[in-house]
Structure 1
Amino acid sequence: MRKPVICSLAIAWGATALPQAFSNSGPSTGGTGPYAPANYTTDPALLSHTLYLPKTPTTKLPILIWGEGGCQANGLQFLSFLTQIASHGIAVIASGPPGGTGTTTAALLTAAIDWATSAAAAAKHPSLDPSRIAVAGQSCGGVEAYAVANDTRVSVVGIFNSGLMTPAESRRVVPGIKKPIFYFLGGSGDIAYENGERDFDLLPSGTPSWKGNLPVGHGGTYRDTDGGKFGVAAVRFLQWTLRGNLTAASFFTGQEAVQAGWAVEARNLDAITVTAI
């Protein structure tokens, strides 16, 4: 991904929506999942990031690499949302240190993948499962996720309130995505709505893909307790695609998402096969 596109996204989306929507993601409860309580921490070998982990892991933890909204290098922007995900048995590595400042780039996502797949990380955090990695992000972080989507170490991609900035960029990038990709958009009031819709339409027909629109705008429900409805959907997404949980899969393959208020479109989800852990 060319850096100017990411910078443009930070200006176009971050300046208008993010200071109000994500300066504080709300109180963290430690999550409601079976591996609660979860919380954030740091690692001396990866001080440019924030880690979210269950306090006492009792299972192997697949990994979510998370790109921040507005390219803001603060790993606590989505505190409740990411804590909830971690409480369901997913380790999260978010760009930016806790309370950090400055801007992010897609290189931080690659750095997180490099660390997660290193021998040093395995020795210090033996519960991590680097064979199961998702990359995802909100707004600008979603564009950054596109930039590493084809990394061979990534299994699945999540695009939250995001899409590539121009039709030309979409035509260049999206047809090359072959691995499962899920879009979580905020409906027609989401500033990224048209971008995400365009990207979904340009995916190869054989790419397993799902798109949901919840009419809440660009801010999603990340500030709600445990991430609200976006938190529920993200947990189901990762439980299925990283942990092989078929009950979670029914959120996408059945009527659960629709009953929760999401407008849904999907293709080729039967091609997703994940061994349960």
Structure 2
Amino acid sequence: MKGPKPFGFLALSVPALFRLDLVGAQYGNFPATGDNGDNGGIFGVGPDIFLSGFISPDKISGTLSLGSQSPPLSQVIPSVGQVLFSDASPGGTGPYPARWFTEPDLPAHTIYAPAAPPKDGKAMPVVVWGNGFCINVGNSYHPFLQEIASHGYLVIANGPPLAAIEMNFEDFLSSEGIASHPSQQTQAIDWVTAGKAGRYGNIDTKHIASAGQSCGGQEAYSSSYHDTRVVLTMLFNSGVFIPSRRYLLKALTAPVGYFCGGPIDLGYAVSLADYALLPEGLPAVWASLDTGHTGTYWGTNGGKDAQAAVAFLDWWFREDQIAKQKFVDPGSAGSLVSQDWNVTMKNID
């Protein structure tokens, strides 16, 4: 496996990283909870990331191949406009066509589940999800999350479903009103463990994963921190961007899966650094597919990222040996390696 290449996002951000870290987690201090009000929580990049000068919108636009005169958000990422306009029609390739729902007693979230409770009584593990940019829009990763749910999972995303956000990208990145927080994932866990999700089927609250993409991955770290109800953590295109906060990884107790988009992904180098510093003996998988930071989430049925996520969940939560072989045996049918992923792992039996 080739070593990580330097990435401009990190180099440009170094001075601000140290400034922001003064108001965030301090080295050697293990907070009681993961949500300290920062973007991404204690594993995140500090408060008001874009307003603080961590990295300017024109620079982040460049990392996403955007011009300085950026279009409305619905045009920033291919298909995101259609995603945000998406209705709740069932879909996905799994045996249980899934859709999104809302619940009056969980108003800050969007729930993805089979359109009808599985008639076979299949146990449904839970995934709590943090969106990229920590955006509080629960249907922003619609194809990806719907695909996972169609395989018999209950997915609860941060934020209510919204219509398309017609906002200049710079204005969007500077807007606090649409930011989510790790505490929302904790709220989702509280809600589901209190038995509130019974109408969706046989909910398996013994198997809860905290997951997220980019800033949402930092939320996943922060919501799994000191919460023993979370038994699996999954980060997509994400990691700890402030080196002096990486010591917090030592407090993680759940196995971790990293899925990134190759050397051009701003989550590539940091996920490798995190992987190397996880607690001794903690099972972990690191996988990379050359898709860049935006992955395949908005492709048909979430693309290869969704396929990998489902296989990972089936392996860990259902002890599915075929799913496990896709990771551990490059020669197996449908292996990640055969799909052009680069995979490494440790502490795996």
Relative to the length of structure 2, the TM-score reads 0.72
In 2, are the aligned partners of 1:25 and 1:223 still within 8 Å (CA)? no
CA change 1:219–1:29 in 2 (3 A) is farther
Distance 1:75 1:24 in 2: 14
Q: Deviations over 1:148-199 (max 9, x none)?
A: 22311111000100001211111x2112223210000111100121111111
1:45 matched residue in structure 2? 105
CA change 1:235–1:203 in 2 (3 A) is same
In 2, are the aligned partners of 1:51 and 1:92 still within 8 Å (CA)? yes
Deviates more, 1:72-81 or 1:240-249: 240-249
- Structure 2: where are the runs of 5+ without partners? 1-33, 67-72, 164-176
In 1, are the aligned partners of 2:39 and 2:134 still within 8 Å (CA)? no
Match runs of 1:141-180 below 5 Å? 141-150=216-225, 151-170=227-246, 172-180=247-255
2:193 to 100, 117, 120: 117
Matched, 1:3 2:37: yes
Give the secondary structure class of the aligned counterpart of 2:248: helix
2:292 matched residue in structure 1? 217
Give the secondary structure class of the aligned counterpart of 2:318: coil
Matched, 1:21 2:77: yes
Distance 1:132 1:211 in 2: 21
In 1, are the aligned partners of 2:233 and 2:254 still within 8 Å (CA)? yes
1:54 matched residue in structure 2? 114
Distance 2:82 2:275 in 1: 28
Distance 1:89 1:106 in 2: 24
2:183 matched residue in structure 1? 107
Q: Give the CA deviation at 1:8.
A: 3.7
1:230 to 297, 305, 322: 305
1:67 matched residue in structure 2? 130
In 1, are the aligned partners of 2:296 and 2:305 still within 8 Å (CA)? yes
Q: In structure 2, give the amino acid aligned to 1:38.
A: A
1:273 matched residue in structure 2? none
Q: In structure 2, give the amino acid aligned to 1:4.
A: D
Q: In structure 1, give the amino acid aligned to 2:339.
A: A
Give the secondary structure class of the aligned counterpart of 1:120: coil
Give the secondary structure class of the aligned counterpart of 1:219: coil
- Structure 1: where are the runs of 5+ without partners? 271-277
1:98 to 161, 182, 189: 161
Query: Aligned-residue CA RMSD in angstroms?
Result: 2.2
Q: In structure 1, give the amino acid aligned to 2:77.
A: A
1:264 matched residue in structure 2? 343
Considering fraction of residues, name the structure with more helix.
1
In 1, are the aligned partners of 2:39 and 2:215 still within 8 Å (CA)? no
Percent identity of paired positions between Structure 1 and Structure 2: 39
Q: How many residues of Structure 1 are paired with residues of Structure 2 in the alignment? A: 267
Q: Deviations over 1:221-251 (max 9, x none)?
A: 1111011110110110111112222211111
In 1, are the aligned partners of 2:116 and 2:200 still within 8 Å (CA)? no
Q: Give the CA deviation at 1:126.
A: 4.5
Distance 1:8 1:179 in 2: 22
Q: Give the CA deviation at 1:25.
A: 6.7
2:147 matched residue in structure 1? 84
Q: Deviations over 1:88-139 (max 9, x none)?
A: 01110000000177110001010000001013334x4452111110000000
Q: In structure 1, give the amino acid aligned to 2:109.
A: H
CA change 1:49–1:118 in 2 (3 A) is same
